[in-house]
Amino acid sequence: MTQQDYSTNRHLTIDWAMFHRDIQLLAANLGGKGPFKGIIAIARGGLVPAGILSRILDLRLVDTLCISSYDDRVQRPGEPELLKGIEGDGEGWLVIDDLVDSGKTLQMVRDMLPQAHFATVYAKPKGIHLVDTTAINIDQHLWLVFPWDQDI
């Protein structure tokens, strides 16, 4: 499996089948980059990918790092707000989020956990430099509608 690029659109609705295919690609791209002692999900976007990856990679130790940077579906200006942190420097951990957009959240997490391995399912150009492993590159102006957000 290789990394893919999607064409530029204003919105992309991701269904469960597409998401599972993309997370399988991420898992394949993570091959040989461990071993990882566990996963740190960046809540809330990283919760679903972390759950699926924990099964694929057979990692039972899953923790959360809780950061707020969006109000509903709009990214707030300024710095993200840390709601729950993680102790240590991240060594041996896989940090997962659904998407890196502007990179503000991931930069904050990288500063906290500099030894962790950072992975996202989707990556936009402004934040991709903060990611160690990704599955899908997308256009900066593309808005993703995830399956867990479609009924809201």
* CATH number, position 110: 3.40.50.2020
| Residue 15: inside a domain | yes
| pLDDT 10s digits, 84-126 | 778 889 999 999 999 999 999 999 999 999 999 999 999 999 9
pLDDT of amino acid 82: 74
Strands (E), 14-149: 38-43, 62-68, 70-71, 74-75, 81-84, 93-100, 117-123, 133-137, 143-145
pLDDT of amino acid 59: 96
| Residue 14: inside a domain | yes
Let me know how long the chain is: 152
| Residue 152: inside a domain | no
| pLDDT 10s digits, 10-52 | 889 999 999 999 999 999 999 999 899 999 999 889 999 999 9
The angle at the Cα of 147, spanning 143 to 152, to the nearest 5 degrees, equals 85
More reliable by pLDDT, 72 or 86? 86
| Residue 4: inside a domain | no
What is the set of active-site residues?
97-98, 101
pLDDT at residue 7 greater than cutoff 70: no
- Of 11, 38, 28, 32, nearest to 94 (Cα)? 38
